[in-house]
A and B are shown apart, each in its own frame.
Chain A
Amino acid sequence: DAGVIQSPRHEVTEMGQEVTLRCKPISGHDYLFWYRQTMMRGLELLIYFNNNVPIDDSGMPEDRFSAKMPNASFSTLKIQPSEPRDSAVYFCASSRDSSGTDTQYFGPGTRLTVL
């Protein structure tokens, strides 16, 4: 398996623009997680899905952020409009289940810079 795939790897955009980050989880994994990594807050969970359904989005910073999972092999995280404080590395991870004991496999991340 190719592992979790994220695109783009790097994104530079201007404040106010819409940004869409993409993730393909490992085939057969029922859970998908979106994380954001910043110097100030470390690695924080934004939202996670189970069988394509959002379960907990309490980590999403504000209404400018939205996430979807239209099918088992694809998810998007959208920021509209983007702001400089959104600059961070965004990771997608997937796991077979979320019993708490199953490993989460991380993608390579998308480094977002908002100017």
Chain B
Amino acid sequence: ILNVEQSPQSLHVQEGDSTNFTCSFPSSNFYALHWYRWETAKSPEALFVMTLNGDEKKKGRISATLNTKEGYSYLYIKGSQPEDSATYLCAPGGSARQLTFGSGTQLTVLP
């Protein structure tokens, strides 16, 4: 079980604003970092999987970066829309190949 921290816990932004949040994890025994998007009353959906230091992934207006040496990942959302409102979870996988989920960043995009 890894110690995973996500910040901030919650975030309110206006429609059109760009935003980012952080996932911190132990850099030792790192194998992969997953980001999930979790809408209320639904199940978590995978966004990205990253493995290499310096990895950058992009999906539409959402992108993520990874720093395995210092143990953090950033998720960016450009031009937030109300439909981006969700909880964003990160989950590093360690040597046991199991994912440990952070508590998430709850994003609310106000119209």
Residues of A at under 8 Å CB distance from B?
35, 42-45, 48, 56, 91, 98-109
| Interface residues of B, count at CB 8 A | 21
Knowing A42-B101, A56-B98 are in contact, say whether A101-B32 is a contact too (CB < 8 A): yes
Knowing A101-B49, A103-B49 are in contact, say whether A109-B43 is a contact too (CB < 8 A): yes
* Complex-state Cα separation, A43 to B100, whole angstroms: 8
Give the residues from 36 to 63 in chain B that come closer than 8 angstroms, CB to CB, to chain A: 42-46, 49, 51
* Complex-state Cα separation, A44 to B4, whole angstroms: 12
A-B contact pairs, 12 of them (CB 8 A): A42-B104, A45-B99, A56-B98, A91-B43, A100-B32, A100-B93, A101-B31, A101-B32, A101-B93, A107-B43, A108-B43, A109-B43
Most A CB contacts (10 A, CB to CB) among B34, B43, B51 go to: B43
> Nearest residue in B to A44 (C-beta to C-beta)?
B101
B interface secondary structure, majority = loop
Knowing A42-B104, A43-B89, A103-B49 are in contact, say whether A108-B42 is a contact too (CB < 8 A): yes
Q: What is the CB-to-nearest-CB distance from A44 to chain B, in angstroms, rounded to a whole number?
A: 8
Knowing A100-B31, A103-B46, A106-B43 are in contact, say whether A45-B104 is a contact too (CB < 8 A): no
By a CB distance below 8 angstroms, the chain A residues around B32 are 100-101
